[in-house]
Amino acid sequence: MKSIVFFLFVLGHLSMCAQTKFSIKTGEIEFTSNAKLELIKAESKNIQGVINTANNQFAFLVKVQSFEGFNSKLQKDHFNEKYMESDKFYDATFTGKIMETINYSKDGEYDVKANGYLTIHGKKQPRTIPAKIKMDQGVLSVVSSFTVVLADHDIKIPEIVSTKIATEIYVKMNLVMAPK
């Protein structure tokens, strides 16, 4: 009888663990445009997201207008008004599934691939993005870096500024997530 109760307790505990969702506690996403004549950097700490440990599905969102940095206020204004059109396309999102198996109940590091859809400037593109996930005492950290080709998302750069804005943007993301 005691072993049945113990088994039911363990099964119940595993079921609860399997249904845990991790949400972002703190996070930062940064982009860099390294063009011939100008280096542009901006970052946002206004990133939201969740990972469902039951099925490895995830969803992340950043408000386009939340990026700070740039080399001038005018540059930020042009980023929002002319290139990203953030009055029409408020958010950038990445949704999908982590392909590797992760033991969320045990400390460890995992090199993973996240398959999904990256939506920027209203243009949804299939992507596989590498990431490093670390579990440490119930806290999940995600670190990733990848590039975004502006043309893939219908972001047009006028010829007059083509030497100041890169056609491929480097993106870096650092997240700390806790059980929801």
For residue range 163-174, what is the model confidence (pLDDT) as tens digits? Answer: 999 999 999 999
List C-alpha distances in Å: 82 to 7, 42, 155. 60, 16, 9
Confidence band, pLDDT 50/70/90 cuts, at residue 180 = confident
pLDDT score at 4: 38
Which residue would you say has higher pLDDT here, 2 or 28? Answer: 28
One-letter amino acid of 106: K
For 97-146, what is each residue's pLDDT tens digit?
Answer: 999 999 999 999 999 999 999 999 999 999 999 999 999 999 999 999 99
Look over the chain and give the mean of its residue pLDDT values, rounded to a whole number: 89
Domains of the chain, each with CATH number or no CATH? 21-179 (2.40.128.110)
Q: Please tell me the pTM assigned to this model.
A: 0.85
- In the chain, the largest separation of any two C-alpha atoms, in whole Å, equals 79
How far is it, in rounded angstroms, from Cα 71 to Cα 174?
A: 22
Give the Cβ contact number of residue 41 at 10 Å: 14
Give strand pairing partners of 125.
Answer: 118
CA distance 149 to 37: 18
